[in-house]
Each structure stands twice: as C-alpha cells, then as structure tokens.
Amino acid sequence: MQLPSSFSVTSTSLTNKIILITGAGDGIGKVAAKSFAAAGATVILVGRTLAKLEKAYDEIEAAGHQQPAIYPLNLESATEKDYDDLCNVLNENFSRLDGILFNAADLGERTPIANYSVSAWMRCMQVNVNSPFMMTQALLPLLEKSENASLLFTSSSVAFKGRSFWGAYAASKAAQENFMQTLVDELEGTSRIRANSINPGATRTKMRASAYPAEDPTRVKKPEDLMPAYIYLLGDASLGVTGQAFSY
C-alpha cells in the first residue's frame, strides 16, 4: 500500500479518537493498540484472554498515553445481547466511538474441504464474519455520533482468491470484504461513517507461525511496520477514503 507522501505518524495523528480494537492482546492487534495510543487515541481493548489485555493496558499506561479501557469478550460465544451490552457500556463511558479495528481472527483448520471439521468451520465463521457483523450493527448508533468514524476490516490474500487447505478462513475473509463493501454502499450519502479493509500480508505473529511452521520468522516483517497504514486509515488524514481494499 502506498501512503500519501505527505503523511507521517505523529503523537497527535489520532488525538481525540476513541478506537476499539478486537484481538488487542496479541500480535498485530496488540501493536495496533499501543501504536494508536502513542498517536493520541483512547483505545478500547477487546479480546478473550484477560491477562493479555491487562498486559497491553499496563504497557500503554506505563508509556504515559491516554488511559485505555479493557472489555473482555470471546467472539466465538458472544451473542447479540453481549454486543448490545458492549454498546451500552461504551455509551455510558465515552458517548461515541470514532473507529473500530476488526483484527481478531480464527485461523480455522489447514486441511482439505473433504476433511474440514464442521465445528472448526462454524467457529471460524463466527469469529471472522458473524462477530464483525453483530458488532457493527450494535455499535452503529455510537459510530454515528462521531464526526468522522472509520472502520477497518482485516483481510488476507486468500480473500481475493481461494487457496487449497485454507477453507473457512479464506471464505470468511472474502465474506468480510463483501460485508465492508455492502456497508459502505448503504452508508454512502447518509452517514459520515466510512470503512476500508487492509490485507497486512505476511507478518511476524503467532498466527503466521502456526500457518507456516517451517518459515524463519526473522524473514517476515513485524506488526510495527504496518502501523503507518493502519493509523492513516483510522485517522482523519484519510478522510474521504472509503470502500477500498488495501494490501501491504
């Protein structure tokens, strides 16, 4: 992805922004949470492992950034009511929401369709497709209260062309792209909310290591390298950019 030459991240790139990040306890999500906070945002850390969220919280606080918030939520089991509760809690504490990074994902199985376990397929679809749908729907009223809300969906190269053994993960990422496009088309002209997707490409995380166990991780870029693009797309520097699929 080519960033505008005039854009560079500063400590005020996301000032006054309240941004929710799913999967904020590890990998790209954790680095995003810390980087957004360093760029001035108040971050809401959503994830399923409380200890990891607390560690991210402590690191952000120790760095002297805006105090974050923690909201433990298992996206595999979360129901419509859980998302409504999330909306109510955020409304009481923040009154609005300026951005969401849909980052959490389930890798599913790496196996042929013929052998794919139905429960693994369902779990992957629940975390990667149904959860972003339910969260978006529940939080739209809070996003509408923002002057310029930005949603960023996390894609993958298999979203654009399916690949052997990537089963539910590939289908889920394609569905997420399509969901983003539908949302943008519906909101155009009636809402200030915009949405884009980004395919981070090969990035040094636990998920990457699990998908490519034989790969030398030092040959793969770090989550930190992605952050200018993420901050650009969630901040006002990208106002007017919507409905786009970016790839790293």
107: buried, middle or exposed (CB in 10 Å: 19+, 13-18, 0-12)?
A: middle
Name the residue nearer to ligand NDP (CB basis): 49 or 67.
Answer: 49
Helix 80-94 / helix 131-144 crossing angle, nearest 10 deg: 30
* Whether residue 248 lies in the annotated active site: no
Strand bridging mode 150-154 / 99-102: parallel
> Rounded to an integer, what distance in angstroms lies between the CA atom of residue 44 and that of residue 57?
9
Compute the least distance from the CB of residue 145 to ligand NDP, in Å.
25
Name the residue nearer to ligand NDP (CB basis): 5 or 218.
Answer: 218
Name the residue nearer to ligand NDP (CB basis): 15 or 137.
Answer: 137
From the list 71, 83, 116, 169, the catalytic residue is: 169
Compute the least distance from the CB of residue 112 to ligand NDP, in Å.
20
Considering only CA atoms, which of 33, 144, 152 is closest in space to residue 95? 144
Phi, psi of 52 (to 5 degrees): -70, -40
> Rounded to an integer, what distance in angstroms lies between the CA atom of residue 28 and that of residue 32?
6
Compute the least distance from the CB of residue 207 to ligand NDP, in Å.
3
Residue pair 45/21 in contact (Cβ under 8 Å)? The answer is: yes
Contacts with ligand NDP, residue ranges (CB under 6 A): 23, 25-29, 47-49, 52, 74-76, 103-106, 127, 154, 156, 199-203, 205-208
Compute the least distance from the CB of residue 185 to ligand NDP, in Å.
23
Name the residue nearer to ligand NDP (CB basis): 15 or 228.
Answer: 228
Strand bridging mode 42-47 / 150-154: unpaired
Residues that are catalytic: 169
